[in-house]
Amino acid sequence: MTLLITNARIASENSPDLTAADVLIADGKIQQIGQGLTAPDGARVIDARGRVLAPGMFDAHVHFREPGFEAKETIASGTEAAINGGITGVVMMPNTSPAIDSATVVANVLDIAKRTSRIPVYTSGCVTKGRHGKELAGIDGMRALGVTMLTDDGDTTGDPAVLLRAMEYATEFGMFFASHCEVPELAGPRALNEGAVSYRLGIKGSPACAEEIIIDRDIRLAHAAGAHIHIQHVSSKLGMETIRWWKQRGDVKVTAEVSPHHLLFTDEHIGDYDTNYKMNPPLRTQADNDGLLQGLIDGVFDLIATDHAPHTPFEKSQDFISAPNGITGMDTALVSLYHHFVATGKFGWDLIVKRYSAEPRRLMGLPAVSIEIGQPADLILFDTEAQTTFTKDFMKSKSQNTPFIDQTLTGSVDLVVLGQEILLERL
């Protein structure tokens, strides 16, 4: 495939300004960048006027439910949802059934991905067998198959002694740890944030301190072990400030992520028990969201990750306490970030490229994608003036448990190119 994209505005992690240029792609690589490029014979020409050309996004926290819960999502459907949202690489979480806790399960998952996915799929592995928090998982076997992230995501690794031992062992292999932070005895039913809304709805809430205690605990364990700890889906301002404090000390390697829903929604959005706003950690207050946004701008958060968590309509139609936690995110993330933050001037495309494309790849030991001569073609075209309506027909995930369902937002992913393939086109 030879493709000439003309009149593009190129986004980079290194500059808030968008560079106007033509881009020639051939043999799966970017061959030329400049003004007034001439299309070679047989090349397809796409006029990108009014659109932003950006590197493909990378989501380092997704739940694809396979094996075990394929009614919610499969690797095939999940990766199509990723492409739909401009994402060209993902990292699966291990809370499947069986859990991804051994070389055997890792090999099975990667084989399914190789056969059914059009984008690269990586997987994390469990810290403990079955995510039960008692015995170490088959860490060395998983490492041999390329696993670098260890996590019991979905739950905290409850026993700090077990986690410390895992850190001391696996750090020798260059692996790192991703932490889902909550004290279960404090978190209770984990239905929503403890505060005025939980009181009004008559539901026991989950206090932010249940998350904040484990954030500090796990960073302290990493400090003791000399390990790299990555804090997942932070939801509270104080939790973010704890991470900031440890980063400023400079004597422990800590990275952290924030999810779009913890920037965009609060517990007030739950309204009349809307289960599409039920997630873990729960939505908190506007003050928390404002703090998280500032933490993202300041660089306390290294990356944006959706925590894509699909559930069937039947499951989400249960009462608020019984319904499972989770929100789908990959179909909607980029457009919603553009609509609410870039279009309103809160931050620019450089932050999106850095935090949702470059740094997630670096976390996984992968090279960041950039639009430069000689680089592999891994890019998207984003129309900043078009609109996207998130109907059930638009969504590619098998589940549509999202507050964005049937909403119309500004922005559209119009083209996704990976190597020599056009994976998505809405031109």
| pLDDT score at 238 | 98
- Other CB atoms within 10 Å distance of the CB of residue 332: 31
| pLDDT score at 127 | 98
Please check the confidence at residue 27 and state whether its pLDDT lies above 90.
yes
| pLDDT score at 191 | 81
- Distance of alpha carbon 232 from alpha carbon 224, whole angstroms: 20
Domain 56-363 bears CATH identifier 3.20.20.70: no
Residue 164 pLDDT grade (very low, low, confident, very high; cuts 50, 70, 90): very high
- Distance of alpha carbon 8 from alpha carbon 20, whole angstroms: 6
**Among residues of the chain, what percentage have pLDDT more than 70?**
100
What confidence tens digit (pLDDT) does each residue in 171-181 have?
A: 999 999 999 99
Residues of the chain with CATH 2.30.40.10: 2-53+373-425
User: 318 and 275 in contact (C-beta within 8 Å)?
Assistant: yes
Q: Which residues are catalytic?
A: 307
- Distance of alpha carbon 61 from alpha carbon 23, whole angstroms: 31
Place of tokens 């291990």: 94
Cis amide prior to 160 (ω within 30 degrees): no
Phi and psi at residue 165, to the nearest 5° = -65, -40
Residue 188 pLDDT grade (very low, low, confident, very high; cuts 50, 70, 90): confident
Per-chain mean pLDDT for the chain: 97
Q: Looking at the domain that runs over 2-53+373-425, which CATH code has it been given?
A: 2.30.40.10
| pLDDT score at 290 | 98
Residue 190 pLDDT grade (very low, low, confident, very high; cuts 50, 70, 90): confident
**Among residues of the chain, what percentage have pLDDT more than 90?**
99
Residues of the chain with CATH 3.20.20.140: 56-363
What confidence tens digit (pLDDT) does each residue in 228-272 have?
A: 999 999 999 999 999 999 999 999 999 999 999 999 999 999 999
- Distance of alpha carbon 377 from alpha carbon 301, whole angstroms: 27
Residue 278 pLDDT grade (very low, low, confident, very high; cuts 50, 70, 90): very high
Please check the confidence at residue 109 and state whether its pLDDT lies above 80.
yes
